[in-house]
Amino acid sequence: MNTDNTGNEDGNGWIYSERVKKHFFNPQNLLKEDPETYKADGVGYVGSPACGDMMKMWIKVDPITDTIKECKWRTFGCASAIASTSVLSEMVTENGGMELDKAMQLRPQDIVEKLAGLPDRKIHCSVLGDKALRAAINDYFRKSKQEHRIIKDKATVVCSCLNVTDHEIEEAVLEGKNSYEKIQEHTKAGTACGSCKPRIEKLIKQYKLQYFGD
């Protein structure tokens, strides 16, 4: 794998693949039109201005073939977020477009593999496009009266004392909080009665295996 050092804001270099650099400097399918006039069949939005990572995605669907014929996006994010979403937009529109059911099953690992890898601390960036795509497809299902096809990603409370969910723990692991102590520090989960510790440790192990193969 060809790599280069790309500097970040704290002066430390990250090792990015040539494919990441290609999609960062020349992002594909970026929405350049006015979002208000762009006629999309489904729109998905994830992220928060508070954390700085935001992603919006627009899709057009061929109702005959049930495939994505166009995928546009905009993001406020880093090089990894831009490259991840750029390559994702190619993945779902190439060869005539990906079937919606298959697109709903795409995983962050699929995007990372297509990019020839990402630094561990940037894996969470690939989740932005992944989640925005599912949100856009679900929006299309709602608009086209196919509510039975909507897949909801429901959160489960793990730490009832402090109301911390499995989604919050997942996001923390993606950001590099990969131990029980780091999860406690980041989310405060398990800092009250501590009865949720076994469940938290199990989730940490699950998410590390899912996203990093550890």
78 a catalytic residue: no
3 state DSSP class of 190 = coil
3 state DSSP class of 94 = helix
pLDDT at 4: 38
Question: What is the average pLDDT score of the chain?
Answer: 85
Q: What domains can be seen in the chain, in order of their start residue?
A: 3-149 (3.90.1010.10), 157-212 (1.10.10.1100)
Residue 51 has pLDDT above 70, yes or no: no
pLDDT at 8: 44
Kindly state the average pLDDT of the residues 57-86: 92
Tokens of 100: 């919606």
51 a catalytic residue: yes
Which of 51, 78, 159, 161 is an active site residue?
Answer: 51
Burial per residue of 28-55, b for 16 or more beta-carbon CB atoms within 10 angstroms, e otherwise: bbebeeeeeeeebbbbbebbeeeeebbb
Predicted confidence (pLDDT) per residue in 102-116, tens digit: 999 888 888 888 888
Which of 125, 159, 193, 196 is an active site residue?
Answer: 125
pLDDT at 113: 85
Share of the chain above pLDDT 90, in %: 45
CA atoms within 13 A on the CB side of 89: 27
Type and span of the H or E element at 206: helix 197-212
Q: How confident is the model at residue 122 (pLDDT cuts 50, 70, 90)?
A: low
Q: Which amino acid is at 114?
A: K
Kindly state the average pLDDT of the residues 191-209: 92
Q: What is the pTM of this model?
A: 0.73
Q: How confident is the model at residue 212 (pLDDT cuts 50, 70, 90)?
A: confident
Q: Are 189 and 160 in contact (CB under 8 A)?
A: no
Kindly state the average pLDDT of the residues 33-41: 92
pLDDT at 211: 79
Q: How confident is the model at residue 214 (pLDDT cuts 50, 70, 90)?
A: low
Q: How confident is the model at residue 145 (pLDDT cuts 50, 70, 90)?
A: very high
pLDDT at 131: 85
Q: Lowest mean pLDDT of 49-58, 59-68, 74-83, 177-186, name the range.
A: 49-58
